Structure 1
Amino acid sequence: MHLTPTASPLRASPAGPKAAAARIAVVIVNYRTAELTIQCLESLQPVLDECDYVSAYVVDNASGDDSPALIENAIRENDWRWARLVQAKRNGGFAYGNNVGMAAAEDDHETPFDAYWLLNSDTIVRPGALKALVDALDVECGVGIVGSRLEDPDGSAQISAFRFHTAGSELARGLNLGVWFRLFPSAEIAPAQDDARELADWVAGASMLIDRKVIDQVGLLDEDYFLYYEEVDYCLRARRLGWKTSYVSASRVVHLVGQSSNVTERSSAARRLPKYWFESRAKYFEKNYGRGARVLADVGWLAGHLLYRARRVLQNKHDQIPKRLVTDFILYNLSPLNRVH
């Protein structure tokens, strides 16, 4: 899939109620979450006038249930002429689904979109969220990717701005030791949320706006990631080509954590992680840093995690840890039978 290049940068209007003379395509990937997707679409209605033109594309990733019919009915009954359902040929994952949506938007319109807003199906958009994102894009200063302040339904902030994963940070993640992060703060991938913070290494893909010029230069999302790490990879690819990523606290989006995938759902912290989580992690390190760095990251995380577990036993404390985490990590990351190609 390819997006036709355009030389028109996204510009924020200095005055007026609208964020910009901008054309925005929203892409929402659905996989057996029809009710959440419809709720997300409902929340978009109040922000449609925040830009000159907004069109939403819901990509059903071959759900195999009644999702397409439910979403189509909701679009028709609510007269959401700005929304369209696209049925993907297969469940190719998050990156694949978003790429299908962006390609469909491209095919539908002769005039190119200025930016693409990737939204999880388990999100609820607050009024003003789109305007704040569009206003934050600044191609002259190199800001081409912006992410929202994700929050719980009660307004409590979730961590939405992150640092890149490195081999060194994996040891710190495994240890999960507060004093280590105080001594080496840059090792913290997910620092405490700071709404005054602007630039970030990467932002959560649950609500991420990408300027068209970034896509022209960087390309689409890497479909070899089924789920997880695809937005980290994309922001890193953009950074290496000179693009910056920014966290926009004024753009507020409720994120019903994990309900679109069940992997990060807080109530299921002990649930076994799926194979694709390990595969995505392995691909990220090997693709971006090489085989040696991947091995260092694997050994560092495993050593740190085993020390963490030993410490918790000595402290007589018990944490909710995904089932078979160490066994699966060794199987999918360290086994010679599982290599990233």
Structure 2
Amino acid sequence: MAEQTVLTIILNYRTPELTLQACEAALREMAGLKGEIVVVDNASGDGSFEALYQAAQEKGWTQGGRLRVLQSGWNGGFGAGMNFGMRAGLSSGAAPDYYYLLNSDAWPEPGAIEVLRDFLQTNPTAGLVGSHIKGPDGITHTTAFRFPSIAGEFEGAARTGAISQMLKNSIVPLPQPSGPTRVDWTAGASLMIKQEVIEATGGFDEKFFLYFEETDLSRRALAHGWTTHYQPDSHVVHIGSASTGMKTWARTPQYWFDSRLRYLSKSHGAFYTALSTLGLIAAGTLWRLRRLAQRKPQADPDWFLRDLIIHALITPFRGPAFQVPPAPVSILEDPK
């Protein structure tokens, strides 16, 4: 049987220096595999595309079709950028057997990509598999999850031991797996997907700008019979939130609320979504009362609860928060 192909897709948005480091690590790990790397610039508008294109040429990465730098033409978020890279396919015009999605601030360690490929090759019903992610400090990041639910959101917002014990089977972050484990969804920072999954689902829903898009894809893949897995033998170092700034959010951006609302309404309908939001508000209020009584530190961005309530109230009366262009932008390769 012919060796199966991997297309590694690295999405850049105003992080060219980090993206070049990700390319270097990915090129090293792809050296023994059949496939290519595509770097997609999501219309950074800061010279990133030109800098990446020039650096790739000067380093000789583009020789032999090993790596291409493409311009998507618009900033449609994570899912849209990755869809663009998947549509680009291999330089021959063919679709690969596997798509490997890698964040621009993530660096696969030795064997990381091959381990994911081998896992999908040897598990016929597995459609998506993610890596063990750790920070530059060596601390493991939580990337194995259950699907969000009313109970799961309530538990996460309440932050109360007794509630967590009662709802332990609904807690969204799973206990850290010690071996390959089936999960509901895993993070897209280092994620490999079978081509058949993309063919069946159509790829990411581009109405998610950021957040919940991997959750939604895994849920739709499961509906087609494809499972999602966590493979801790694949190790990737990830800074985290380099493009989004999530770690330093002063306020939660509207697109996070939009994505949460879209995921819940798509998956469960309007009534379930309303109940989940009411539960989140109730649990958040409970937590804030505990904070006042016990002098606990702030855990959410400023005004999170107020912003959640306002978003829930005004969303039915406004148009779509994020418009998808009517047709994909053509691939641009040469910035000159």
TM-score (norm 1): 0.88
Question: Secondary structure at the residue paired with 1:223?
Answer: coil
Q: What's 1:32 paired with?
A: 14
Pairing 1:61–2:42 present: yes
SS at match of 1:22: coil
- Equivalent position to 2:52, from 71, 76, 84: 71
Deviation of 1:321 (Å)? 2.2
Distance 1:74 1:340 in 2: 38
Of 241, 255, 258 in structure 2, the residue corresponding to residue 258 of structure 1 is 241
Q: What's the CA shift string for 1:140-172, capped at 9, x where partnerless?
A: 641010001110113221111100001221111
Partner of 1:152: 135
Q: Answer yes or no: is the 8 Å Cα contact 1:227–1:280 preserved in 2.
A: yes
Q: Does 1:177 align with 2:160?
A: yes
Residue 231 to residue 213, structure 1, CA distance change in 2 (3 Å): same
1:64 CA drift (Å): 0.8
1:328 aligns with 2:307: yes
Letter of the 2:161 partner, please give it.
Answer: G
Offset of 1:192 from its aligned partner? 3.1
* Alpha-carbon separation, structure 2, partners of 1:129 and 1:220: 23
Q: What pairs with 1:85-104 in structure 2 (closer than 5 Å)?
A: 85-104=69-88
Q: Say whether the 8 Å CA contact 1:332–1:338 is kept in structure 2.
A: no
Superposition RMSD in Å:
1.8
Which residue is 1:5 aligned to?
none
State the shift of 1:340 in Å: 6.7
**In the alignment, is the contact (CA less than 8 A) between 1:145 and 1:209 conserved in 2?**
yes
> SS where residue 233 of structure 2 aligns?
strand
Letter in 1 for 2:238: H
Structure 1 residue 309 and structure 2 residue 288: aligned? yes
- Pairing 1:162–2:141 present: no
1:117 aligns with 2:100: yes
- Would the alpha carbon gap of residues 284 and 139 (structure 1) be closer, same or farther in structure 2, given more than 3 Å must change? farther
DSSP 3-state at the match of 1:118: strand
Question: What is the Cα deviation at residue 272 of structure 1?
Answer: 0.8
Q: SS where residue 89 of structure 2 aligns?
A: helix
Secondary structure of 1:55's counterpart equals: strand
Q: Could you tell me which residue of structure 2 aligns to residue 216 of structure 1?
A: 199
Contact 2:152–2:167 (8 Å) recurs in 1 = no
Q: Describe the superposition over 1:38-57 as per-residue Cα deviations: whole angstroms up to 9, x where unpaired.
A: 11001112211342x22111
SS at match of 2:100: strand
Is residue 215 of structure 2 the alignment partner of residue 227 of structure 1? no
Contact kept in structure 2, 1:282 and 1:340, CA below 8 Å: no
Cα deviation, 1:207-243, whole Å, max 9, x if unaligned, reads: 1100011112122110000011000000000111111
C-alpha distance in 1, partners of 2:290/2:198? 46
> How far, CA to CA, are the matches of 1:197 and 1:179 in structure 2?
30
Aligned residues: 317
Change (3 A) 1:22 1:141: closer
Code of the aligned partner of 1:71: L
Q: Distance in 2 between matches of 1:323 and 1:313?
A: 15
Instruction: Name the counterpart of 1:45.
Output: 27
User: Kindly tell me: are residues 36 and 172 of structure 1, through their superposed partners in 2, closer, same or farther at Cα, counting changes over 3 Å?
Assistant: same
Distance in 2 separating the partners of 1:139 and 1:280? 34
Partner of 2:255: 276
Give the whole-Å Cα distance in 2 for the aligned partners of 1:22 and 1:115.
8
Q: Compute the displacement of 1:339 (Å).
A: 7.4
Q: Which amino acid aligns with 2:281?
A: L
Q: In 1, distance between residues paired with 2:175 and 2:284?
A: 21
Distance 1:168 1:340, change over 3 A: farther
Deviates more, 1:277-286 or 1:183-192: 183-192
Question: Contact (CA 8 Å) 1:50, 1:128: kept in 2 or not?
Answer: no
Quote the sequence identity (%). Answer: 36
Please list every run of at least 4 consecutive aligned residues from structure 1 whose deviation after the TM superposition is greater than 3 angstroms: 138-141, 338-341
The within-5 A match list for 1:181-192 is: 181-192=164-175
State the one-letter code of the partner of 1:109: S
Shift of 1:338: 4.8
Instruction: State how far apart, in whole Å, the 1-side matches of 2:257 and 2:282 are.
Output: 17
1:320 Cα offset (Å)? 4.0
Q: Which runs of 5+ in 2 are unaligned?
A: 322-336
Cα distance between partner residues in 2 of 1:111 and 1:165? 36
Q: Give TM-score scaled by structure 2 length.
A: 0.90
